[in-house]
Structure formats: C-alpha cells, structure tokens
Amino acid sequence: MSAVLKLSEITEGYVQTLPQATAHSWDTDPKHLGFNLARYKFVAKMLQGYEKVLEVGCSDGFASPIVAQSVGKLTAVDNDPSFIKVARTHASKSWNIDYRLHDITDEPLKGFDAAYSMDVIEHTTSPLRFMESLAQCAPVCVVGSPSLESQKYASSVSRSGHINCMTARELNILMRKFFEHVFSFGMNDEVLHTGYEPMRHYLLAIGVK
C-alpha cells in the first residue's frame, strides 16, 4: 500500500468557492487574476519582515494572504461593507488577518510600520487627499495603479471606474509631496518593468519618509 497521500485527501475540507470580486475576475478574464496576484507578490517581497502592515482597499481579501505570509501582522481595510463581509466569510484560519471596515480619508490609521494600496487611488476623487492620508498611516508605503497610458487598452467597464489614472511621473510627483524618497517601478502583465515609463501598463511606487 502506498504511503503517498492523494491530492484529494490533502485538500479535503477546504472552501471550494471564490469570493465575490475574485470570482468575477475568474469568470470574465482569468489571466488578469494572475496579474493581480503577481502585484501582491511584489508587495510581499518589498515589505518582507515588517511587523505591523496595513492594506488599504483590500476588496474581498483574496490576495491579502500573499502579503500576510511575509509580515508579522496584517490589518486589511476597505470602505465597502459588502467586501469586508465577504473577506471575513472567506478568511482562512491559516493567516491572522484583521479585516476592518474603514475609510482612511476620514481617519488615517496610525502606528503601522508599512502600508500598501493596490488599485485604489485611481478610483478616488482626490488622489492628493488619499495619498496624504496613506502617508499618515506608515513611514513606508507601496502604491499600485494602472497607468494613464494603459487606459486606451482597458475595457469600457474598467475605464468607467478609473477616474484618476496617472502617468509614472505624475504618481512620482504626488508621492514626493509626502515621502522623502520614492522608488518607481512598473509591471506589464505579471512581469516587473523598469524601462521606458510610458510603456508601463501598471505603476508601482514605494514611498519612504
């Protein structure tokens, strides 16, 4: 008799459904889910070893464990109660993530070692206010957003919510208002890109006070 466990035995009892926003991505454009997870892996590597980390705009929380795996304690917030409800429902006991309903533009959450926000700033009516609030949360912040140049390739549904996309230079200038050092990166699909800025479809920037 073989002592090797079958995959079905190892995975027995695990949740077999995807949370809200992730299920939509999987049904409409599965490859985009891979791009999104790659962005979170970048954040996890950049913030590896930080003790208290804040995620701003966690959506349904599906990708949050990628960062939680690399940090001491992750607090994940979103201003949409339906997303927080779903995130808590699907939360795994393997990762100690504190999902909270909160809007940092109303009240910044202070006392964190690092913070990150992926795919949020382009949806805000005031990127300046959002960045000011994010900078009050932690001395190190990672921000991710689709580039302005990428929008001509985006779907009409995607563009309708992206009311404040920026170029890499514009994001850099904005972050320098609140951080002494800003390190600029980008991604095309799931590949990290540091070349010609207008060719970056997705922007990543790290601000350090």
- pLDDT, residue 133, reads 98
**CATH code of the domain covering residue 108:** 3.40.50.150
Residue 10 included in any domain: no
Residue carrying the six token digits 């919510």: 161
pLDDT score, position 1: 45
In a domain, 180, yes or no: yes
The answer as to whether 38 is a domain residue is yes
Report pLDDT for 92.
84
- Predicted pLDDT of residue 89: 92
| Residue 112 belongs to a domain | yes
SS3 at position 151? helix
Nearest CA among 48, 18, 200, 190 for reference residue 116: 48
Pairwise CA distance, residues 127 & 112, whole Å: 21
Angle CA 178–44–112, to nearest 5: 45
Q: How many helices (H) and strands (E) does the chain have?
A: 8, 8
- Written as one string, the DSSP assignment of 110-138 is P--SEEEEES-GGG-S-HHHHHHHHHHH-
Could you give the 3-state DSSP secondary structure of residue 52? Answer: strand
Find how far residue 49's CA is from the centre of its chain. 18
> How many domains, the chain?
1
Through-space distance between the first and last CA atoms of the chain, rounded to whole angstroms = 60
In a domain, 41, yes or no: yes
- Has residue 122 been placed in a domain? yes
Residue 6 lies in a domain: no
Q: Give the domain extent around 140.
A: 17-208
pLDDT given for residue 3 in this prediction: 59
Instruction: Specify if 188 maps to a domain.
Output: yes
Rounded distance between C-alpha atoms, residue 23 and residue 8, angstroms: 22
Per-residue pLDDT in tens (0 to 9) along the chain, 209 residues: 455 667 667 667 666 688 888 988 999 889 999 999 999 999 999 999 999 999 999 999 999 999 999 999 999 999 999 999 999 998 888 888 999 999 999 999 999 999 999 999 999 999 999 999 999 999 999 999 999 999 998 888 777 889 999 999 999 999 999 999 999 999 999 999 888 999 999 999 999 99
SS3 36: helix
Q: Cβ of 166: how many Cβ atoms within 10 Å? A: 20
